[in-house]
A and B are shown apart, each in its own frame.
Chain A
Amino acid sequence: MFRKILTSTALAAAVTLSVAPAAYAGKANDTLVWSTTREVAVADPYYNNTRELVIIGNTVWDGLLFRDLKSGEFVPLLATSYKWADNTTIDFELRDDVVFHDGSKFGPEDVVYTVNFVSNADNGVLTQANVKFLESAEQTGPNSVRIKLKEPFPAALAYFAQAIFMMPEGHYDSAPDGADGKKDYGAVKPVGTGPYMIQNVVAGDRIEMVRNEKYFKGGPKGQAGIGNLTFRTIKEMNTQIAELLTGGLDWIWDVPKDQAEKLGGMDNVTVTNAKTMRVSYIAFDVDGDSGDKAFTNKKVREAVAHAINRKSIVENLVGPASVVIDSACHPDQFGCTQDVKKWDYDPEKAKALLKEAGFGDGITTDIYAYRQREFTEAVIGDLANVGIKANLKFMQYRALRDLVWKGTTPLHHMTWGSNSIPDVSAITSHFFGGGRDDPAKDPKVIEALKVADTSVDPEVRKAKYKEALGIISSELYWLPMFTYAKYYAYTSDVDFTPTPDEIPRFYTAKWK
């Protein structure tokens, strides 16, 4: 009996050991291994909405357009040119020298297929925010397509650049049937046109990519500089750092500031701090739904705004690429202005405001958060210094979002990454356009945003966004906090430049 158990265990061990390939990282093997803490099981940018798939999406696939980070302009990628026919129609001319990883040629039928497939709600695309504005596509010539939008949507170009990736025609036809009778679209073998192709997916553990040697010449992305690219999931930051120091990993990010600074002092590691599109904000229960009426009083909201030392949090905890923001958007987004009411750090004034509001003895409340607990903890410390005792409720994003919608959170400290879309419509319109995420439902704000979102005149958009952002900040529906900055740490062997949109371009990396 014992022997049997031992044999079967040995067998199990042998099986496990033999299927797992060794992880070789580094210049010697021409393999760049990068890691994040998130598990990735589905390698399809439409059926997985993690940041990792945004990165892999831009690495393995191409969109019709490309965002030139230097100029901020959208330049053609799979297209050769584009033109707005009217405010809901865009015409694209396409390249004719592009082939998919499986060898088939890229053409207008692929664009028509992809757009019509992903815009069909029945197909259950998970990244709904990226595709819901699409109406349909049709071929208009041997190398041209016309894409119709559901309604005027000036920000559409950004989505064509980094969210709507082209799949070959009929790509999802081979999807297996799921147990529930529905098609399992995410299980299709990934095929794209991008600088890398996916070679192997070990669900939840790693994704191995190799350079696409046939990538088309003369595009803005260009041929990849490193032969192999492997993504690995390692959940524990200490383990990631240990692997980076011993050569098991080449590239990590989201390193906390103190560790990043100390890692920077080591010989073989390069550390940089780069901007992201993510912003941090505190939202107040303006209408008192949570039962905690304190924040219906604007003086209390002002007290909170004066109590929090955002500058100190940015300097001590976030990183040099982070900035304090005063309006409910990211400064890099189109239409975002910082020309709004500002609330300075002034704890004495905060105490006085609390007294005026009738809370001279202090307030006890709950603050909800889901990400970077240390930032929220610093907020709690600042609030405690003026007499507001905020107990932290730290939970999963989905649980918290549910509570926010039910209106049961007096204060919540959350973040928004806008899917890296450089347009105010991806954040302010979402939170103050009157939907469930809107804490105030101020009709003036809703109206201004509606005009701004659908106008094709950039000046009108800017003016209307400014109006809305001005009200939000002066009424303190939100206290905008700061922009996120990410610490990247990578081996000094690699020549890599972080980008300000949280989409690392691994295809531009080279060995030194």
Chain B
Amino acid sequence: MDDAVNKTEQDQVVIADRTIDEPSPAERAKKRMLGHKGFMFGAIVLGVILAIAFLAPLISPHDPLDQQLARKLIPPIWHDHPKVTWAHPLGTDQFGRDYLSRLIHGSQISLLIGFAAMLISGVIGTAIGVAAGYFGGRVDMVVNFIITTRLSLPVVLVALAVVSLIGNSLWIVIAVLGLLIWDRFAVVMRSTTQQVRNLDYVAAAQAIGCSTPRIIFTEIMPNIVNNLIVVATVEMAHAIILEAALSFLGLGVQPPAPSWGLMIAEGKNHMLFDPWLVGIPGTALFILILSINLLGDGIRDITAPENRN
């Protein structure tokens, strides 16, 4: 079983994959950050999407829920079509709702899904991963068992089953995703904690009688936080893509909330004749995931020298 987990650990090695950066001092991190194109791109794009999400009510031209069937399926302005209008630069959907406004409001929901699911899975995964790594022995065995059980459950299937049966509000989707994708956190945190635990200063802290929670929070956590952030970005992207897949099967976030996954799901039936209905939210989703992944890669590259692996 140990090995079963180790295998996936190697799956995680991807995260720890580092370019051939020569070791360099920590104070040069900022410089490297600015010099890292992927990181800068990711950070700026994600920043813009975040700003759009926060400012959604102010910048969106229409109410994203305002339905007028009479003006449905107006194509976006770059199409050569008599119905095209600047009042709806990205056109309208099959219910006559302004597509730009839905896209803007949808950013809130897609970010929320990614962030909240990542947070839930992060808390679960980190808690049991650190516990297993720190205490070892029986605890480690039990945690390994739980991780193996989780890994042998096909995620998409389980998510589908739960969501199709108990209904799929935003929070149910978030909870299901959060409860399913914690494995990477657990595996990575477990192995990182194992390494840190055996370091001298942890032994020193134990020797002078520090309490276990204190050791974990003041000695262990700060040393594994870099890895944690990298996993967090990967999982956030993972959650967003999973929600899109659920949406494709009609089981993502439900109306009236305008998530990008839902927009793709509703547009997908029009894919052949009005491909922009899927193309616009699909591209938005692609850019969001791209920027999160680039940010994660960037953080890993920049912090790699201080990594203890």
Contacts and interface: CB of A to CB of B under 8 A. Distances in A.
Interface of A: 237-238, 241-242, 256, 258-259, 262, 309, 312-313, 315-317, 368, 373-374, 376-378, 380-382, 384-385, 389-396, 399
Contacts of B94: 258, 317, 374
Given A378-B67, A381-B95, A382-B67, A394 B250 contact: yes
Contact of B254 (A241, A382, A391): A391
A396 B254 contact: no
Most chain B beta-carbon neighbours within 10 Å: one of A241, A373, A381, A391:
A381
Contacts of B269: 237-238, 256, 258-259
Contacts of B97: 381
A394 B167 CA distance: 6
Contacts of A399: 164-167
A316 B256 contact: no
Interface string B83-106: 000000000001101000000000
A316 B72 contact: yes
A60 to B, nearest CB: 32
Most chain A beta-carbon neighbours within 10 Å: one of B165, B167, B169, B270:
B167
14 contacts: A258-B270, A258-B274, A259-B273, A312-B70, A313-B69, A317-B69, A374-B266, A377-B256, A381-B256, A391-B169, A392-B256, A395-B165, A395-B166, A399-B166
A373 B250 contact: yes
A368 B167 CA distance: 9
Closest 10 CB pairs of A and B: A381-B67, A316-B69, A393-B167, A262-B273, A392-B254, A377-B255, A395-B167, A392-B255, A312-B69, A399-B165
Interface of B: 65, 67, 69-70, 72-73, 94-95, 97, 164-169, 250, 254-256, 266, 268-274
A481 B65 CA distance: 22
Contacts of B256: 377, 380-381, 384, 389-392
A396 B250 CA distance: 11
B7 to A, nearest CB: 17
Contacts of A380: 255-256
Contacts of A238: 268-269, 271-272
A377 B164 CA distance: 18
What secondary structure prevails in chain A residues at the interface with B?
helix
A377 B95 contact: yes
Contacts of B165: 395-396, 399
Most chain A beta-carbon neighbours within 10 Å: one of B70, B73, B272:
B272
A392 B258 CA distance: 12
Contacts of B270: 258-259
Contacts, number: 82
A40 B254 CA distance: 29
Contact of A242 (B73, B272, B274): B272
A384 B65 contact: yes
A258 B255 contact: no
B148 to A, nearest CB: 23
A258 B95 contact: no
Nearest to B254: A392
B264 to A, nearest CB: 13
Nearest to B248: A236
Nearest to A390: B256
Contacts of B250: 373, 394
Contacts of B254: 391-394
B268 to A, nearest CB: 7
A468 B256 CA distance: 35
Nearest to B163: A395
A256 B273 CA distance: 12
A482 B250 CA distance: 24
Given A238-B268, A316-B72, A394-B167, 18 more contacts: A238-B271, A259-B272, A262-B272, A312-B69, A317-B94, A377-B95, A377-B255, A378-B69, A381-B256, A385-B67, A389-B256, A390-B256, A392-B254, A392-B255, A392-B256, A395-B164, A395-B167, A396-B165
